[in-house]
Chain A
Amino acid sequence: MRDVAVIGAGITAFGELWNTSFREMCTEAGVKALEDANVAGEQIDAMFVGSMSAGRFIGQEHVGALVADYVGLGGDLHIPATRVEAACASGGLAFRQAVAAVASGMSDIVVAAGVEKMTDVSDATDVLAGAADREWESFAGATFPGLYAMIACDYMNKYGLTREQLAQVAVKNHYHGAKNPFAQFRSEITQSTVLKSTLVASPLRLFDCSPVSDGAAVVIVCPFKRAKEFTDTPIRVLTSTQSGDTIALHDRPDFSTMGATVAAGNSAFKQAKLERKDIDFVEVHDCFTIAELCAIEDLGFVPKGTAGKFTEEGQTQIGGKLPVNTSGGLKSCGHPVGATGIKQVWEVVQQLRGEAGKRQIDGAEIGMTQNVGGTGATVVSHIFGRA
């Protein structure tokens, strides 16, 4: 297998982009990434596009071809474009396909895009419920916030997590997001903002939830050996792992442990021959506050049941022991589902290049991502290093 590097990254602002269409978002992020990598269309071999449900959000299928066409890779160049879907992990999985294509030697320069336009549809809650088991969870009345709320209920009962500790995840992510010019919510909040916000699915309130968002992100990968042709600051992909689990939450032995995160994390550290302490920062899938706590525990950074305290102590904030979600996470940066996994890679690239501006972590050398589909039936994780 060949070593792979990220050589370019581009992103749109995340938010309710009512005057920007699906294809315009892709074009904007795609052109930025191509310019960043200094790559010409003729040099590109393949493209992967992560989108959870363009069919239900905007009535458009075949978005691999659509995106390739509008980024200027379709008509004249006939570049093969493949859509990848794994609910909210679609972006991370598209990136993994791009890495695999390069690592295997099948392709040299590959584009990985992630996109979602969620705000045009009136009932986004129902579309998102399709990431769970439609027949045996959603038909029973399960919403996505409701499923994660049941994880939170189980977790609080087992480990004595306080409502304030849980709120602190959102407070910290808004603090980070306020420093990210592309984030959907760029205002800092306090614990009382969270605790006074409306109940969505008890114990989760509005400010425990990621929002409904529009946005796109694109990154470009190539063999590590060729990276210097394009950039002085290539980012090395140290590992790419993916794990699965039961589609339904009710079939997991422990609702508060995401088995697929444990498995993806363990194999990542083993493959990379790294220790947990070697990781300088992580971008994890905080679709709901509780998910961030589970993620840092299940990846092995802190023991089970202690992530609330770790967060309360400020250890997950920039300047702490393990900064988590410097982009603002899904909570504050926004969560256009298919785009999120690519946005995580984009943020790691900004940090490792030292280009993260006000949210820059001093001396960041190694970063990690964790992207979740559904309630954990798919988890995709990557570790990156400054080359």
Chain B
Amino acid sequence: MVGTKCKTCGKVFFPPRSVCPHCRRNGKIVEYKCSGKGEVLTFSVIHSASDQYAAMKPYVLAIVELEEGTRMTTQIICEPEEVYIGMPVKSVFRVLDREGTEGIIHYGTKFVPNLA
């Protein structure tokens, strides 16, 4: 997971940003590789989705805070009843959705439980 980091204030951004919202013109943005480890801050089990994601439901949507302090919206690959606030998770590269049976397959980051 490659995000960005502001060398001025030390904040890490994933999703990446090319302007630091805190330092603005004084920020200095560089690429930064995130560990992919984090924890669930909040979540919802989605039972009613747009057509694109309908085949996956119910699925677990969550906001994850990465070790580096940045937060992102993502899915947790687990049973709906397993997820909880504070659950440790780690990133994996998975299919996000397919455009029909022969169309483009989109890949992206999802998370799995990272229990000791």
Chain B min CB distance to A127 (Å):
9
Q: Is A126 an interface residue (CB 8 A)?
A: yes
Asked if A250 meets B72 with Cβ closer than 8 Å, knowing A135-B15, A150-B42, A150-B62, the reply is yes
User: In the assembled complex, which residues on chain A have CB atoms less than 8 Å from the CB atom of B18?
Assistant: none
Q: Is B32 an interface residue (CB 8 A)?
A: no
Residue of chain B at shortest CB distance from A126:
B50
In the complex the two chains form, what is the Cα distance from A201 to B96 in whole Å? 19
Verify B46–A141 contact, CB threshold 8 A: yes
Asked if A154 meets B75 with Cβ closer than 8 Å, knowing A199-B47, A200-B48, the reply is no
- The size of the chain B interface, using a CB distance under 8 A, is 30
Asked if A249 meets B73 with Cβ closer than 8 Å, knowing A123-B50, A141-B61, the reply is yes
In the complex the two chains form, what is the Cα distance from A309 to B96 in whole Å? 40
User: In the assembled complex, which residues on chain A have CB atoms less than 8 Å from the CB atom of B63?
Assistant: 150, 249-250, 255
Partner of A201, one of B15, B44, B50: B44
Verify B44–A150 contact, CB threshold 8 A: yes
Partner of B96, one of A129, A139, A143: A139
Chain A min CB distance to B21 (Å):
8
User: In the assembled complex, which residues on chain A have CB atoms less than 8 Å from the CB atom of B62?
Assistant: 150
Q: Is A64 an interface residue (CB 8 A)?
A: no
Partner of A125, one of B49, B74, B75: B49
Chain A min CB distance to B7 (Å):
20
Q: Is B37 an interface residue (CB 8 A)?
A: no
In the complex the two chains form, what is the Cα distance from A175 to B106 in whole Å? 45
Q: Is A189 an interface residue (CB 8 A)?
A: no
Residue of chain A at shortest CB distance from B14:
A136
In the complex the two chains form, what is the Cα distance from A125 to B44 in whole Å? 16
- The size of the chain A interface, using a CB distance under 8 A, is 37
User: In the assembled complex, which residues on chain A have CB atoms less than 8 Å from the CB atom of B44?
Assistant: 146, 149-150, 152-153, 201-204
Verify B72–A141 contact, CB threshold 8 A: no
In the complex the two chains form, what is the Cα distance from A202 to B46 in whole Å? 7
Partner of A139, one of B41, B71, B85, B108: B108
- Which B62-113 residues have a C-beta within 8 angstroms of A? 62-63, 71-75, 80, 85, 96, 106, 108
Query: Residue among B61, B62, B75, B106 with the most chain A CB within 10 A?
Result: B61
User: In the assembled complex, which residues on chain A have CB atoms less than 8 Å from the CB atom of B56?
Assistant: 141
A 179-206 binary contact with B (CB < 8 Å = 1; else 0): 0000000000000000000111111100
Partner of B47, one of A135, A140, A150, A201: A201
Asked if A251 meets B71 with Cβ closer than 8 Å, knowing A125-B50, A126-B51, A201-B45, the reply is yes
User: In the assembled complex, which residues on chain A have CB atoms less than 8 Å from the CB atom of B43?
Assistant: 150, 153
In the complex the two chains form, what is the Cα distance from A150 to B63 in whole Å? 8
Partner of A129, one of B48, B50, B85, B108: B50
In the complex the two chains form, what is the Cα distance from A133 to B63 in whole Å? 14
User: In the assembled complex, which residues on chain A have CB atoms less than 8 Å from the CB atom of B72?
Assistant: 136, 140, 250
Q: A140-B73, A153-B44, A199-B47 are in contact. List 9 more A-B contacts (CB 8 A).
A: A122-B51, A129-B50, A142-B73, A153-B43, A154-B42, A201-B44, A201-B47, A201-B61, A255-B41
**Partner-B contacts on A (CB < 8 A):** 122-123, 125-126, 129, 133, 135-137, 139-143, 145-147, 149-154, 157, 198-204, 246, 248-251, 255
